Amino acid sequence: MSGACTLCDLPTPDPPVTDEDVPGTFCCQGCLEVARQVEDVDATDAEAARESVQTGDVEAADGETAYLSVEGMHCATCEAFVESQAVGDGGVQAAQASYPASTVKVVYDPDRTEPDAIAETISGLGYDASEREQGDRDTATIQQGRLLIGGFFGMMTMVWYVLFLYPTYLGFEGAALLNVDGPAGAYLLANVWVMATIVLGYTGFPILRGAYVSLRAGYPNMDLLVALAASTAYLYSAIAFLLGHTELYFDITVVVVVVVSLGNYYEQRIKRRAAAGLSELTARQVDRARRRGPDGIEDVSVEALAPDDEVIVESGERVPVDGTVVEGSAAVDESLVTGESLPERKAPGDSVIGGSMVTDGGLVVSVAAEATSTLDRLVDHLWAIQSSRPGVQRLADRIAAVFVPGVVALAIAAFVVHLALGAAPTAALLTGLAVLIVSCPCALGLATPLAVASGIRAALDRGIVVTDGAAFERAEAADVVVFDKTGTLTTGELSLLETPDEAALRRAAALEQFADHPIASAIVDAAADPLPEVSDVQTHPGRGVSGTVDGEAVLVGSVALFEAREASIPMALRDRVEAARERGTIPALIGWDGQARGFVVAGDQPRPGWEATVEQLATDHEIVVLTGDSERAAARFRDHSAVDSVFAGVPPEGKAATIRQLGVDRTVAMVGDGSNDAPALAEADLGIAMATGTELAADAADAVVTYDDLSLVPDVFRLLTAARRRIRQNLGWAFLYNAVALPVAVAGLLNPLVAAVAMATSSLLVVANSARSLS
């Protein structure tokens, strides 16, 4: 009976991979080598690490799984509320929400409910939920509409205050364009009330909803404080207007709502980039399979497959689930799942990975005991990591859990004390209101987003896209930089590294144009047109191709093909072929007239400038190379003086576990490009993706290098570190402002209008500091 890998939790073979010097059992040699070289890796540590990314009950629940997009979550309170309400649906067994990914994962009973019904339940709470595949709700447009309407009516409100109300309030009645004490003034104030109502009720709806959710969940957040300040000013002004007073504070409501909504809109834009984090792998999952049975071949869903069922997979199709080949021979590309750069020939008795692509030939696969796809597990693994990532807002909410009740208590105490000291009820109430307004966390809320925006603009100028604002917190602390090999330190494409004379190359290309193997394309691309005429072409799966070229019998392929056709191979060529294999490249002999006369070598070439990039980063960081490719293919990097460690043959789950173990007492950055790197990019404290890679890698990363230029990676660290300094400056000012302004407001020395001006001034200083150029 197989167990679970100590490092990555994948099933182990029977017998498992072990070593007497390393505790635990492993699924592959790659995981064993990681455990051997990384300190403090044992079964207890690995189990604790796994538990850290498996939150909630979704892992243990038994049912169908669906991922729902949920717009409107922007704090830990929203997560808890959405989870509790989703589970309240009779058919939902478990739910796990992630506000950074704008997603909730639900496990449900398909006989009792459907994803559409669950989405309707969540949407009924004031959020906007839909099945991830549908994409039929343009929430960005809704948010933009809220801001446009709020901005228009807010601007109109402030214009009327500047022209009519502020001159009167400040005692310059002659400067006012209108006497606010007359009927015309009442009409003006009524219009201001209506416009403020629109701003608060429509533009401020997400803030009010967040406050409501925090109250229901019993977890106060920043939304609650913002809503209290805006709503208190609004209610006071509405009552004062009905009582005939003219000194109203609707402007405070407008300023607070619009400023905070702008900050929230920016945060939502970042979150939407992460919301597509599962899109590519989800699209590549196989839903259907062709099952072979006694009655013939039938098309069934993957969920209907049982152990020992036989499924047929043809060239160009993905293997639906993990299993063992029982018939056929084919080249299988496992790069999406494992990162192995070269296709591997599979024959009866070999295991195949669900999600891998058959590129040449066809297979009959017997379904493994656990009829699940490695690709499915990769999707679930990525979700577990992404949904557990904290982010800046979680810290803000933890602060809010103490700050918000404290400010509310302070405002109430100020009201009671001033009332007890003989102040008029209206004056005491305005003092309490001033405390709420002056403490409204606009500057605190804008400190990080605006500095992040400045950093993002500077990065864009250099061809770097920052997809997660939390990256600015982590780059400065990075101790270790982990590089994926295939597609990152190398080009990720097979090309000819060694070629014979032009005549031999053209003969080989003439035959290889009829083959369906990656090395064939490399040979054809390298040869000059026009190619010689060919006939009698035969392919020999796993060995090569033969045929007649210009009247001569030509062979192209492995040593085994030449020996089977009794063609002689000079010893010098044998030695060179063996040396090419030892380097992790693919050699192919070329011969005619019964003798091998030359050979080609195909491989994945190092990316230009990789050494300079690694050497530059090695001055401040430990450098690690991590790859699913073979040890031989990674040998050139192990020999470089700037590289501290190389882990080869590591599966995707093992990559994420390796990052996790490296980060036990250090901050780890990961640079990768492929879908198989996505869990590791998400697991890393800082994930950097090369844009030449897959969409999933980019979505899982915190920053994306948009040019095919590895030398930009050090710029990522430099710019993120500079932006982090700007964030600290902004936060320092925001906290200093609150430390000075709150005592003044409590002392009754600020009326609400001055408090609002102080709050706005504080925000403007944060804006001005953030707008300065990063150097």
Q: What residue type is assigned to position 288 of the chain? A: R
Q: What residue type is assigned to position 42 of the chain? A: D
> Measured between alpha carbons, how far is 416 from 402 in angstroms, rounded to an integer?
21
Q: What residue type is assigned to position 759 of the chain? A: M
SS3 string, 692-759, reads CCCHHHHHHCCEEECCCCHHHHHHHHHHHHHHHHHHHHHHHHHHHHHHHHHHHHHCCCCCHHHHHHHH
Q: Which residue has the tokens 């190359």?
A: 505
* CA atoms within 13 Å, Cβ hemisphere of 567: 25
Q: DSSP secondary-structure letter at 11? A: B
**Reading across the β-sheet that carries 128-131, which strands appear in turn?**
92-98, 103-108, 64-71, 128-131
Q: State both tokens at 238.
A: 């509405």
Residue 15, preceding peptide bond in cis (omega within 30° of 0): yes
- The alpha carbon dihedral of 527, 532, 533, 538 has a sign of negative
Q: Which residue has the tokens 């090999």?
A: 485
> Measured between alpha carbons, how far is 460 from 27 in angstroms, rounded to an integer?
41
Asked whether the beta carbons of 651 and 28 are under 8 A apart, the reply is: yes
> Measured between alpha carbons, how far is 619 from 616 in angstroms, rounded to an integer?
6
Q: What residue type is assigned to position 636 of the chain? A: R
Asked about 673 being catalytic, the answer comes back as: no
> Measured between alpha carbons, how far is 251 from 709 in angstroms, rounded to an integer?
50
> Measured between alpha carbons, how far is 735 from 39 in angstroms, rounded to an integer?
40
> Measured between alpha carbons, how far is 139 from 584 in angstroms, rounded to an integer?
49
Residue among 9, 100, 115 nearest 52 (CA): 9
Give the three-state DSSP class for 483: strand
* CA atoms within 13 Å, Cβ hemisphere of 373: 28
CB proximity list for 738: less than 8 A, separation 6 or greater: 438, 439, 444
- Angle value at C-alpha 341, between 468 and 462, nearest 5 degrees: 35
Give the C-alpha distances (Å, rounded to integers) separating 762 from 419, 441, 443, 476.
29, 10, 6, 27
Residue spans of alpha helices (H) in 319-441: 335-338, 374-387, 392-420, 425-438
Q: State both tokens at 430.
A: 């305005």
Q: DSSP secondary-structure letter at 772? A: S
> Measured between alpha carbons, how far is 58 from 106 in angstroms, rounded to an integer?
7
185 burial via Cβ count (<10 Å: 0-12, 13-18, 19+): middle
Asked whether the beta carbons of 290 and 367 are under 8 A apart, the reply is: no
Give the C-alpha distances (Å, rounded to integers) separating 447 from 145, 539, 725, 759, 775.
25, 65, 11, 13, 19
Give the three-state DSSP class for 319: coil
Instruction: Please report the DSSP string for 531-581 in residue order.
Output: PPPEEEEEEETTTEEEEEETTEEEEEE-HHHHHHTT-B--HHHHHHHHHHH
Q: One of 89, 128, 322, 484 is an active-site residue; which one? A: 484
- Element at 762 (helix H, strand E): helix 752-771
Tell me the catalytic residues. Answer: 484
